[in-house]
Structures are given as C-alpha cells and as structure tokens.
Structure 1
Amino acid sequence: MITELLQLYERIQRVINTDEPFARRRIHWAIDLDKHGEVISVSPTISRNTDGKGKTKEVLGKEYRCPAAFFLKLRNTNVVAAAGGGNIPPELMSGKPLQIFGEEPVVKKDRQGNVLEKKVKKAETGTPKSNHQAFLDLHDRFLASLPPEQTQEAEWTALRMFFEKRKGIPFNAFSDQNLAQLTKDQRFSFRINGRLLLQHPQATGWWRDEIKKQRESVRQCLPQGRDPFDPATDDSVLSVRFPHIQGVPNGGGYCPIASFDKAPMQSFGLGEITMPLGLETAEKVSAALNWLLSDETSYKRMGDAVVVFWAVDKSAANSPPQALNFGDLLSEADPLQVREFLNNAWGGYAQFPETSKFHAAVLSSPQSRITIRSWHTETLPQAVAHFRKWLGLTSLLNQWGDEMPIAIGQLAACTVQKGKNSKPLPRTYTELFEAALFGRPLPSRLFSAALQRQGLELVKGCDKKTRKEFEERLRARTALIKLHFELNNRGGGITMENHTSQKDSAYMCGRLLALLDKIHVEAHKGSGGTNSSPANRSYAAASTTPALIFPQLCKLARYHLNKVGGGWANCLEHGYEAETGEQVEGLKQVVVRLQDAAGGTFPRTLSLEQQGRFAIGFYYERCRNWPHAKKKNIVTSDEKHN
C-alpha cells in the first residue's frame, strides 16, 4: 500500500507539494474587523455541494488554501508530534474559537433550532490555555517580523489591536440564524476591507519561511537510517512520527497511519526506531492519502469507516488518476444511475486499457490511530465486472413493484437492531465493500445475522407509520441472504422471473407462508386490517420447523378464503389465467409444488442454508404481481389486485 501511495503522489505532485506548508482547510466564519480592531460582524462562508443524485445544496464552510502546521516539533531536544493529547498546533490567520478567543462557545437550542442560551467555556488552565497562548505568540512573531513601513498598514494595525483587546467570542456580531450553527470545532479567519488575511502575500511568504526553518531544525534531530521505500539513498533521515491523516471518522486532532511509539512497533531494544520510514516518504504517503480523502470521487464514508479508491493507467506514468463514481453507486445510488451503469458495462472507464490498476483501502480510527482494515489491488476491468454483478444482485423489487438499488449502508444496518445506539461494526462495511468490488465471499456471520433479525422483526411487525422502513429492512436482509448464496457459490440464480419455477422444498415453504399471509390480509381488509398475521406470528416456526406449524396455518386459510368469498377467493385458492395468458398460481398449485419437492409432507426441520432459501421464497412471493384475470374469471372491480 505504501508503494502504491508513493506512486500516486508522483502522479498528483503538480497538485500537492510536500514542500509547500499549505493545505485545504474548511473555513466556516470570517471575522470582519474595522481599522481599530473592533469586530463589525462574523459572516458565514458558504459552499455548494452536489450529492450522488445531482442535487445541489448549500453547506456551511468553504475550503481555502490555508497555512498548515508542520507535523513535528522539538521539545527540548526530542522530536515529538506537533498535535495530539489535546494540543492544537497554531496556524497563521485561521483557527478554532479556543485558539483565537481563549474560550469555546456553548449554544443551547430547542428542537426547532432556535437559540435558548449562549455561554462560553473559558480556557483558564492546562492545555486549552496553552493552545490559546500559542496562537497569540505565533501572531505576535508574525507582526513583529513586518518591516517598519508595513506595520502601519490597515490590515496589520487592525489585527494587532484585535489581539490586544482580547474581548472573547463576539456573540452580538452573529445573526440569530448564524448563532444557531456555531460550534467549538469550526474554524475562523480574519477579513479586513473584504480581504481574507490568510491569502495576503505577506502572511503566506512569512509562513513559508517559518515552516522551512522549523522543518530544518527538526531534521537535525532525527535519526539516520535506510528507508526501504527509497533504495537509491543509503542514509536517509528517518521520521519518528507519521503525519496527520484528516477525514477518517473519529480521527481526532492527530491521527497517524502508523504509530512508531506503540508496543507493536517496538522490539529488539530499538525503542521507537523500529519502522524505518524516511521523512520525505512519510510526507508523500500522507499527502497522497489526504488528497484521496479530500476528493469526493475517491472516497466514501460508511458508518465509522471510510473507503478510499483510485484507478491508474499503468501505461501512462504521468497521467493523473481517473475519477470514479463507485462511491455514489455504493452508498446513495438512484435507480437511473444503476440502470445506466448496468446497461453500459464500462461507462466512463472505457478509455482505460485492460491493464489499468484499481486500488482500494478501508480505513477506520479506533483510539486516534488509523487502522487499515482492508487493502486490495486488481485490474479495473475486474473491479467493474464484480461491481456490475453486485449491483445486479442488490437491486430488488420492493412491495410496490419498483426495482431499487440497496446501498451498503442499508445492508450493514439490517444486520443489527435499529436504533441510535446500535451501529454496525466497521468490519461489516469492510466485508461488504470487499464483496462489492473484489468479489469476496460474504462471511457466514452476516448471513446468520440477517436470518436472526428476520425472525425478530417480522414478529414485531409494523404500523402505517413505520411500514416503509420495515419493508426496506426486509428487502435489505433478503438481498444480503441472496448475496450469501451467489458470492459463496452455494447455488443462486434466483430472480423474480424464475421465482415460480423453483422446486426447492425450503423455498416453497417460504412461498407458502407469504401466500397464506396474503390470504389472511385479504380476509381482514374490509375490517380495517390486523397487526397479527401468519408472517408475524409464525415466521420463526415456519422457517425452522415447517411440519409443526403449516398444517394449522392451512386450516386457517380455509376460514380466511370463505371470508374473502366470491371470484377473488377462487383465484387465490385455485389460481387463474391472466389477461396476458399467464397462468397465475394460487394456494392449490403452491401446495402441490411443495408436496412434490418435499416428498408428500412438510419438512420437519430446516438448516440455516434452507432458512435462507425460505427467506428468499417468502420475499419474492410477497412481491409477486397478481395481474388482472381474463373476463371468464368473474372478478369484481374491488377484487382485482396488482
């Protein structure tokens, strides 16, 4: 992975340069100052983002090229990380409220978002106070470095007077609407006469020289050694810390991809010098990874994990990586996007030769350290082929007859209890991602979890308010169960088109339960419906011990058919010929098919694999279309069902 990231850096070094101490930062607020350093207003910066469906929305915060701190610093004669442990390295002309004002905002709101109370938490002692003082000291050094003829310029006079006043967070400079959006982790910058000071040439030039001096002083104290990723150099300056990687969920203020000072990296009495990585190598790797995490076409967050991916043409060493839309299709694709991708096997990837490489990694951040949960590389055509198969398998009909794609987030969520405090494990996203783009078999634990949730959630049922979510979770579990059979080569190929021709006994049991459930619903439709049906009461028993429960359910079906009455009851029981000439199976035909498949009786027990086939048969039967019957089948208008 390190090698591939170094190669990526070589392709994008025109965009990013590790020698340039600047980075893209999201600035949320601009502090407008008058010539006396008084705050005129605090204005939000707004950017426009486009989601996977092409919709544009405004969000608070806009990215600017900002001065960025060097990731190492000297403490006495030791080289340590500049950030971490609550320390926030100061950066010129931008910072968080704690750094600039010496206090953090605490804004309480009601459910409608109206501000109820505003107060501050002051940085009086310890690390918070040190962060504020470090920010002031940095700007004092900058202002003191200005030539005499520039010290009286309006920008720097106003900035100096602002810091001298130390008035705290100017709540009165916010509008009520803006104040409701204020948090302690947002970044501020200064604006005078309509110009952001972080873009002032005097500020950027001074910062470039300042970081150059700091970096050189740190280099003098770093150990010498051999960098395995730079074989041309026998004696490299080795880094004892790794740069911060931003954009990983729960990453914190300092989140390295490798920890040199932790137990797994320390051995043989060498202390922290056990992972020889050159300073320049570490900077290039982190720069490439941060670039991926800032490009919306190269990453996608999934729960507490984030996926980065890119494709390169190996035959063109200097070509930049190609933008991919895998992220949107995995997480929030709409049916039109999926259909377009499936109908056009290559789409925007057609210009790549078959040797083009596709790389992907899944990252998470437990305890402020990045964990590489998965790393894969293969040719782009292979990845596209796997992905097309995945999208085809996860696009299922819903209860209303619409074929909709199912996002990885939905597949992960359906394996755990729904609720704010119940989240899928990061490895669940990893396993699903590996299956989607690399064709990896799904682990059996996801299959078992889907079956377990199936029984529990069907027992609970749903009301009108929660029906849509109930149906979506049922659809996601069915897709996950289908993926188990397809990707693990356990006999798949089941679709709505061949649904009625399946002969597996467990599958037929699932069909039968869904049909009995439909008959029950039809019988109670005139009385306003019921929350208790065969699927609610008996799914767990029917999917594990069919012989114990189905005889009772079939007896109840006779009562329900009599209650339905008329030609529609006859159609439900005996089937009918549709207007298109299709023979629509009813209860009688399904029971006969089941008897033929099971040897004349209901199966006594079903294994886990059989329970999975039961679940697929149950879902497809629930979604089966009941077309209009031919006129010879006398069915009233109220009895026609789709």
Structure 2
Amino acid sequence: MILQALTAYYETLAEKGEISKPGWGLSKVSFGVNLADDGTILSLIPLKVEKQMGKKTVIAPQVFEVPMPEKRTVGVVSNFLCDHSGYILGVDNKGKPKRSLQCFEACALKHKAILSGIDTPASKAILAFFDTWNPATAAQQAPLVSDWAELMEGGNLVFFHNFRAVLEDVAIKKGWQAYYDGQSSGEDTGTVMQCLVTGEDTVIPNVHPSIKGVRGAQPSGASLVSFNAPAFTSYHKEQNFNAPIGHYAAFAYTTALNYLLADRNHCKTIGDTTLVCWAETGDTAYQDVAMMGMMGQSPQEELESDLIRTISLLADGMPAQWDDVELSPQTSFYILGLAPNAARISVRFFLRNTFGQFLANVQAHQERLDIVRPAYDRHETIPLWHLLQETVNQNSRDKNPAPQMTGDVLRAILENHRYPATLLNGVTLRIRAEHTITRGRAAIIKAYYLQNPHSQCPKEVLTVSLNETSTNIPYTLGRLFAVLENLQEKANPGINTTIKDKYFNSASATPNVIFPVLINLAQKHLRKLDTGYKVYYDKQIQSLLSILQQEYPQRLTLPEQGTFQLGYYHQTQKRYEKKEEK
C-alpha cells in the first residue's frame, strides 16, 4: 500500500512537471569542475549558496537535477556526470589510494560508454579529461589547490565546459536517457517477474535507489525495501527478488519519497520519527494545513484565525479555501512515519483517510486537551511536540521522548483511538520526580481518561477548569492540598521549600498518613496571619473538610492519583484568575 501510494503520488507530480522524470534525481552539489576543450581543468566553480536553516544562515550545497545516482553498498559503482572527488578526480581523504584509483577508472569507463557516440564539444572535453587526467598529480593542480581541503570533504562535483553546465547539453541528456532506458527495459539481461506495484511483467532490479533525509539514518541514504539475510528470504531468492518491484516502480516510489523528505517545510521530526504527508491531488496546500493544524506548526499570526476557520470547515465536512486552492474534505490523505534502523528505514506507521477526517480527529484530540492555562501561557493549543516533551526529563542528555510511545501517540491522535498507557506512565513519572503539574501534564491526564474512561476518574473531574460542585474524594483531596500549600506560602513569604516538595507524592498515594499531619501544620500557619486572611483560609479548609468528613482513604490507585493531581491543578489555577469587575 505504501509503495502504490507513493508511485501514484509520483505520477501525479510528474503530470504537473514538478518532479524528476525517470532516470533523473536530485543531488546536493558543492563544486563544478570547469573543463577546457582539451579536457584540462580551467577552474573549480564553487556552487554552495546561503540557505536559511531555522534562525541561522548557513552555506550549503546547491541541489541539482542529475542523472539518477546509483545505489552503492561496498562495491565500486560510478555515477554519471555527478559524483564525489574519489570517482571524478580519483582522490579522497579515506586513506585508500588503490580504491580511489579503481573508482576513477570505473567512472572513466562509464562516461566513455555513454559519451562515445555523442559529438558535442562538452562530450569531447569530458572524454579528453578522462584520457589525460592523472590522479597522482591532483593535489598539485593549480585550479584545485585553494579549495583542496573543502574538496576532500566528500561533496559532489559536476562537470562544466567553458563555464557552462554540462547538464544543460541536450545531446548528453538524450544519451543518458537512452542508456538508462536500456537498462530499465532489460537490455542488461535481468530477471523478469511480475511487479507488485504495477502488475506488469518486467525486469526486477536487485536493489532500489536510496532514501535520503530520514533523521538518524545514514546520510548517504538507506533502504525502505531490503533483504540482506537468509532469515528474511523465501524460496532461495536473493535481495529484492523476494519482493519483486520493477525499475519504473522502484524509481517512482523512491523519487516521490525523496521529494517529500527534501521539502523541509512539510517534513516534521518528532522524537526519532520523521513524518511526511501528502494529498492524492498533489496540492501542497493540503500539506500546509496539515502541518500547521495537525502537527502544531504555528502559522503567521495574521493567518491564525484563517487557519482555525479552515480546519473547522474541513472537519465538519465542508470545502474551504487556503492559499487560493479549494480544499476538499473528501480528498484522500496519507501520513507516513519513518524511523532509522541501521542502513534501513523502519515504518512506524502508515495512515490513509480523508483529509477532513484526519482534521476532525485532531480537533477532537485538542478538545480533550483543553484545560485552564496559566496567565503567562499564550498558546491556545498544545502542540504535539510539546505534549511529548512533558514525558521527558529536561535535565537528561537525551531529551527525545520514547520512540515507541511517539509512534503510538501519533496513531492514537490521527485515528482517534485510545491513548497508549506509556503516555500516562511517562507523565506520572515526571510528576513524581519533579513534584510539578504543568498545563501540559494536567491536559494529558484529562485527555487520557476522557479517551480511556475509568470509573475511578469520573467525568465530573475531567473539566476545563475547577469543578467546585464535585464531591469526588481524591479530587477534593487535591484541592485541599493546593489550599494548604497556598496557606503555607502566605504565612511564610519567600519560603523556598513548600509541602509540595516534601509531601506531594505521599499525599496523593497514602492520604490517611499525610493529611492529618498537614492539617495540624495548617493550624500553626493560620496563627501567623491577620484576622482577614485567617478567616479566608480557614473557611476554605473547613469547606473542603466537610466534603471529606474527616475520613481520608488509606491508599489511592493510579486513576485516583490522576484525579488528585487534576484537583490540585484546577485549585492552583483558580488562585490566579482575575476577579470580574462589578
């Protein structure tokens, strides 16, 4: 299903002329090797440009459309017209001169095989270069000396002829296309099988092009479809003959996925999961709304109200306009989560639904998360990345959430299923360790028990703000603890350590042991206050004790502890609410 969807997406983009045609791909290029007519190197042309990476401006290689790069393992395999210095010049910094010479010879053979029948000045210059170039003297060549260190970093090089890119030569492009089409059609005597994607009988390549751009995977690329051990094979087939996919389908799905991963505006990383999404129509407006609305990527301030209105319309099943494109809620939409796995890529999840249904599921998730927020918190919604960070120790070296939990939470949100228990466990551990209930943690507890109902955490406590009419015992205990903490702070201005730091965990787990101690301590705090404050706090305490009737549970279960924590959070935020002016 994944490969079929990606192949269909490639064909949609190809019809619009927005993606490379078969035989071509995108590569990052650092330098151009400028050749004279006789094949000598005139100069080295820097091709790096300034790019905005977040808030920083960096110098990065340009992206060129080049002949489709080969899939490399440990063997010597050359690309055409675009490769690193080990193949183009026969030198690199890997400390293996014999292998570098083999790479250069393989590169020369490939270029001679393709260019020998092409009669253009650029073609003749490249052939002359491979006939005359001596890798042993490369470091002494004047055009290379000034950029030698950067040249050895491994960036790709392309050929120029008299300051004109050889990639623009029409005859050379036709020569490469004929060579590539000949390979794909089976002139290279390959195994013919039925393609799983197209259903046609065609030559099956044993390896597929690399996927680049998945965070944590090898920078040179990794495989989405791969078989490398006997345990993964069947009927004694080797490599990708276990899952026969033709040259065209292999090119199409890898090109489409590389295209999605290269678009950093529509590619999101959460934890170790790299997220890409696309609509079957190929319109990027769907991806814009998805990333802003579904993944918490904030739009410009002036567009926020438009985004909220657009998402609301689509979630209700009505079409909406965005960036002059009419978005249909019935459009098929795909979300793919990828994670690194050595030289391969593992699929965390692959989801397909209508665009409107995805947005409706995310909107339901945000409604469950809705909870009273502190005055300093100006964000109306809680982004997904921030939600997952509530389960992470911010003082640890690795601040990424658990990989499996990340995928499970994403699936639960996008499919409107039950949240994984690992999400609640992660939040509970952070509360116990830090004795702090943030807006995000309280929102997770509320959303979890709304979506995963439990009788010991009833709906009467799963409210946006304080429910003063609730008589739930754990909820009332949480409220009482917040009042007692506030009383202590009022009686001891500037105190560094409160009862929350010492008693919060035990109070929420074994109330009958701790609360008699806290009530006794509160009487001492009341004596330090003037009459007005004393009456105010005493009235609050007595009101909550009347609900409890002086009986404290011996032990609270995990759902009851969640109820306690919500009561504490609601009561704490109630203190900071502004009084209405009469």
TM-score, normalised to structure 1's length? 0.73
Shift of 1:435: 2.3
Note closer, same or farther for the CA distance 1:454–1:34 as it changes in structure 2 (3 Å cut). Answer: same
1:487 is aligned, of 429, 451, 473, to 451
Distance 1:243 1:287, change over 3 A: same
Counterpart for residue 66 of structure 2:
67
Q: Give the match for residue 541 of structure 1.
A: 506
Percent identity between the two aligned chains: 19
After superposition, the Cα gap between the structure-2 partners of 1:340 and 1:269, relative to the gap in structure 1 and judged at 3 Å, is same
Query: In structure 2, what is the equivalent of residue 378 of structure 1?
Result: 353
Offset at residue 92 of structure 1 (A): 4.2
For each residue in 1:258-304, what CA deviation from the matched residue of structure 2 results, as whole angstroms up to 9, or x when unmatched? 12444454123445533233332222222332233233464322222
Alignment-derived partner of residue 481 in structure 2 = 513
TM-aligned CA deviation for residue 94 of structure 1: 4.0
- Cα distance in 2 for residues equivalent to 1:185 and 1:393: 50
Residue 424 of structure 1 corresponds to which residue in structure 2? 401
Gaps of 5+ in 1: 72-81, 105-120, 462-470, 575-585, 633-642
Structure 1 141/59 Cα, relative in aligned 2: closer, same or farther at 3 Å?
A: farther
- Which of 273-282 and 30-39 deviates more? 30-39
TM-superposed CA distance for 1:366, in Å, is 0.7
Check if 1:167 corresponds to 2:139. Answer: yes
Cα shift at 1:427: 2.1
3-state SS of 2:348 partner? strand
CA distance in 1, matches of 2:581, 2:265: 55
Select 1:451's aligned residue among 387, 404, 428. 428
Shift of 1:455: 0.2
CA distance in 2, matches of 1:34, 1:223: 40
Aligned to 2:226: 259
| Contact 1:103–1:168 under 8 Å retained in 2 | no
1:607 corresponding residue in structure 2: 557
8 A Cα contact 2:20 2:65, kept in partner = no
**Count of matched residue pairs:** 557
Tell me by how many angstroms 1:442 deviates: 1.1
Tell me by how many angstroms 1:147 deviates: 3.9
Change (3 A) 1:172 1:449: same
Could you tell me how far apart the structure 1 residues matched to 2:533 and 2:89 are?
75
SS of match in other structure, 1:358: strand
2:212 to 237, 240, 246: 246
Deviation at 1:476, TM superposition (A): 3.0
Q: 1:160 to 1:21 in 2, by over 3 A?
A: farther
Structure 2 residue runs without a partner (length 5+): 321-325
Distance 2:574 2:134 in 1: 70
Distance 1:339 1:568 in 2: 43
Cα displacement string for residues 61-106 of structure 1 (whole angstroms, at most 9, x for unaligned residues): 36533314354xxxxxxxxxx3134x685444544465566666xx
Distance 1:327 1:558 in 2: 53
Q: CA separation of 1:202/1:126 partners in 2, compared to 1, >3 Å: closer, same or farther?
A: same
Q: What is the SS of the residue equivalent to 1:415? A: coil
The one-letter amino acid paired with 2:355 is L
Q: Cα 1:333–1:628, aligned 2, differ >3 Å: closer, same or farther?
A: closer
Taking only aligned residues, the RMSD between alpha carbons, in angstroms, comes to 4.3
Alignment map for 1:468-483 (pairs within 5 Å): 474-483=438-447
1:232-311 aligned within 5 A? 233=200, 235-252=201-218, 253-263=220-230, 265-272=232-239, 273-296=241-264, 298-311=266-279
Deviation at 1:246, TM superposition (A): 1.9
Q: Aligned to 1:555, which of 505, 520, 532?
A: 520
Could you tell me how far 1:451 is from its partner in structure 2? 0.6
Q: Deviations over 1:515-564 (max 9, x none)?
A: 333333334434xx41x222221222122112211221222233334445
1:84 to 73, 90, 94: 73
Describe the SS at the equivalent of 1:500: coil
Q: Deviations over 1:333-380 (max 9, x none)?
A: 379576654454036962444532222221112122222221222222
Q: Is the 8 A contact 1:250 1:368 kept in 2?
A: no
Equivalent in the alignment of 1:37: 41
Counterpart selection for 1:589 from 532, 543, 548: 543
2:216 partner letter: N
Instruction: Please give the secondary structure, in 1, of the residue aligned with 2:342.
Output: helix
Distance, in Å, in 2 between the alignment partners of 1:143 and 1:376 is 45
Q: Paired residue for 2:25?
A: 23
| Distance in 1 separating the partners of 2:232 and 2:373 | 50
Q: Please report the TM-score for the alignment, with normalisation by the length of structure 2.
A: 0.80
Distance 1:88 1:588 in 2: 82
Question: Could you tell me how far apart the structure 1 residues matched to 2:335 and 2:95 are?
Answer: 42
Offset, 1:182: 9.9
Aligned partner of residue 288 in structure 1, secondary structure: helix
Secondary structure in structure 2 of the residue aligned to 1:166: helix
More helix by share: 2
Give the counterpart letter for 2:429 in structure 1.
Q
CA positional deviation for 1:139: 6.1
One-letter code aligned to 1:237 = V
Name the amino acid aligned to 1:69. Answer: M
CA contact (8 A) 1:9 1:285 kept: yes
Distance 1:190 1:541, change over 3 A: farther
* Alpha carbons 2:409, 2:420 under 8 Å: kept: no
One-letter code of the match for 2:419?
Answer: L
- Residues 221 and 507 (structure 1), Cα distance of their counterparts in 2 relative to 1, 3 Å cut: farther
Corresponding residue of 2:323: none
